[in-house]
Amino acid sequence: MKFYSTNSQDVKVSLKEAVLKGLAADKGLYMPEYIPELEKDFFDNIQDKTLPEIGFEVLKPFFCPDIPEDKFKALVEDALNFDIPAVKVTDDIYSLELFHGPTLAFKDIGARFMARILSHFVADQKKDINILVATSGDTGSAVANGFYKVPGINVFVLYPKGLVSEVQEKQFTTLGENITSIEVDGTFDDCQRIVKEAFLDKELNEKLILTSANSINLARLLPQSIYYYYGYAQLRKAGIKDDVVYCVPSGNFGNITAGLVAQTMGLPVKRFMAATNINDIVPEYLKSGLYSPKPSKATIANAMDVGDPSNFVRILDLYDSKHELVKKKIEGCSFTDDEIREGVKRVDEKENYILDPHGATGYMALEKGLQKGEKGIFLETAHPAKFPEVVEPVIGRKVVVPERLKAFMDGTPKSVASNASLEDLKAHLLK
């Protein structure tokens, strides 16, 4: 399969080139030249399949034969070595817990896949691969840990000063080795802008091999579609087949893009809901038809503090940039910090289930928007223990911290300071 740029369908490249470059030369994002439809019997028996079995069948059309099937199957099994349970919260709402991986966040899935895919492709490279990643929290920790000590790969994590939780920050700043953490005096949007500028810089590209591990990279985005199938499989096992609604806490909109790709491949999801914090650029677009990026605002759901979602161009590409089509596929809603706190408190007291600030937006959107007969499943994108400064004052007690998270907290942070400019980043990369 070839992959084209969202800015020009005439620009087509191989899987290897799309993965290694991350961003097309014309600044577009890569998309598959077609989205295959899965066979009906795949869905008829999906409840009997394991997570790796689902992952292999779903991703095989995109990654094979560029990666031989036997190698790809082993890669999938290695990447998906933890569970993703769908937990019943109320009679009509389920939580798809995506926080059982190494860094307790949904981005472990895509990051672990990408690390293994890149390792396959860099085997014949004479120069190191340099990965640039902008993070508002969980991306940095997932990518840094996914690529930690991988030979031939250097990772540079850019994060906004003072806008990432202490737990999230320690998960990538304490590693060292081939991981360099760069604390940017700016917002997440600044970090993301600088990374994009670096990919287009002539001097950097002459001297270094650069790629991205943000969800602009297909090798991270496409694997995220797997858990939509697996969540549906678990609902099927519970006797729920129809009228399934997915709600996705959304920041850069890569997560929901992966879900929409799954739906296009045949996954029987009735509809999608995108829940945001007050950075509500896409919900406003869905209402008005006008896409108006704005400077991001800091919130307690910091991973969704995005004022110009990169992956939204892929959603537009899926539906020919037609507002009416996009509006039919996605419903949008947004929540303030006070509403998020109230949701965390109420669900803890009423349902004995602790939400993280991002998952809380997904739960509340379903609570508000589910119609009669529908069953909702929201993505619980990170463990609540990663946000103790938000969650614990709300629920009035300590959140139990998993052992693998405690290990990060004991580490010593190591980072370098940078202003929000490409020149500063170049100095670090070329050092």
303-330 pLDDT, tens digit per residue, is 899 999 999 999 999 999 999 999 999 9
Q: What is the mean pLDDT of residues 102-107?
A: 90
pLDDT for 192:
86
DSSP states of 112-155: HHHHHHHHHHGGG-SS-EEEEEE-SSHHHHHHHHHHTT-TTEEE
260 pLDDT above the threshold of 90: yes
pLDDT for 274:
98
Q: What is the identity of the amino acid at 235?
A: L
d(CA 72, CA 78): 10
d(CA 279, CA 142): 23
Q: Are residues 95 and 363 in contact, defined by beta-carbon separation less than 8 angstroms?
A: yes
Of 2, 71, 107, 241, catalytic = 107
In a domain, 245, yes or no: yes
69 pLDDT above the threshold of 90: yes
Q: Report the percent of the chain where pLDDT is more than 90.
A: 74
pLDDT for 185:
95
Q: 287-307: per-residue pLDDT in tens?
A: 999 999 999 898 999 889 999
In a domain, 29, yes or no: no
Using DSSP's 3-state secondary structure scheme, residue 380 falls into: strand
123 pLDDT above the threshold of 90: no
pLDDT category at 50 given cuts 50, 70, 90 is: very high
In a domain, 264, yes or no: yes
The pTM (predicted TM-score) of the whole model is 0.89
pLDDT category at 75 given cuts 50, 70, 90 is: very high
Using DSSP's 3-state secondary structure scheme, residue 383 falls into: coil
pLDDT category at 176 given cuts 50, 70, 90 is: confident
Q: What is the mean pLDDT of residues 238-264?
A: 95
pLDDT for 361:
98
76 pLDDT above the threshold of 90: yes
pLDDT category at 56 given cuts 50, 70, 90 is: very high
- Number of domains the chain is built from: 1
- Domain of 315: which CATH number? 3.40.50.1100
* Per-residue H/E/C for 338-368: HHHHHHHHHHHHHHCCCCCHHHHHHHHHHHH
Q: What is the mean pLDDT of residues 266-291?
A: 96
d(CA 332, CA 106): 21
**Mean of pLDDT over the chain:** 93
Q: 129-158: per-residue pLDDT in tens?
A: 899 999 877 788 888 888 888 888 899 999
125 pLDDT above the threshold of 80: no
Residues 91, 93, 98, 99, Cα dihedral to 10°: -70
pLDDT for 124:
73
20 pLDDT above the threshold of 90: no
263 pLDDT above the threshold of 80: yes
Q: What is the identity of the amino acid at 255?
A: N
> Closest Cα partner for 220 from 30, 4, 12?
30
In a domain, 396, yes or no: yes
DSSP states of 303-315: GG--SS-TTHHHH
Using DSSP's 3-state secondary structure scheme, residue 39 falls into: coil
pLDDT for 17:
92
- Concerning whether 202 is annotated as a catalytic residue, the answer is no
In a domain, 348, yes or no: yes
Using DSSP's 3-state secondary structure scheme, residue 334 falls into: strand
Q: Which of 17-26, 32-41, 62-71 is predicted with the least confidence, judged by mean pLDDT?
A: 17-26
138 vs 370, residue with greater confidence: 370
Q: What is the mean pLDDT of residues 275-287?
A: 96
pLDDT for 425:
92
In a domain, 206, yes or no: no
In a domain, 311, yes or no: yes
350 pLDDT above the threshold of 80: yes
> Closest Cα partner for 139 from 219, 215, 217?
215
Report in angstroms the alpha-carbon separations of 289 from 248, 272, 275, 375.
21, 18, 18, 28
In a domain, 336, yes or no: yes
d(CA 207, CA 370): 53
Highest mean pLDDT, choosing among 19-28, 184-193, 386-395: 386-395
The strands making up 3-5's β-sheet, listed across from edge to edge, are 8-13, 3-5, 30-32
Q: Which domain holds residue 325?
A: 83-104+221-400
φ/ψ region of 401 (left if φ > 0, alpha if ψ in -120 to 50, else beta) reads beta
Q: What is the mean pLDDT of residues 396-401?
A: 94
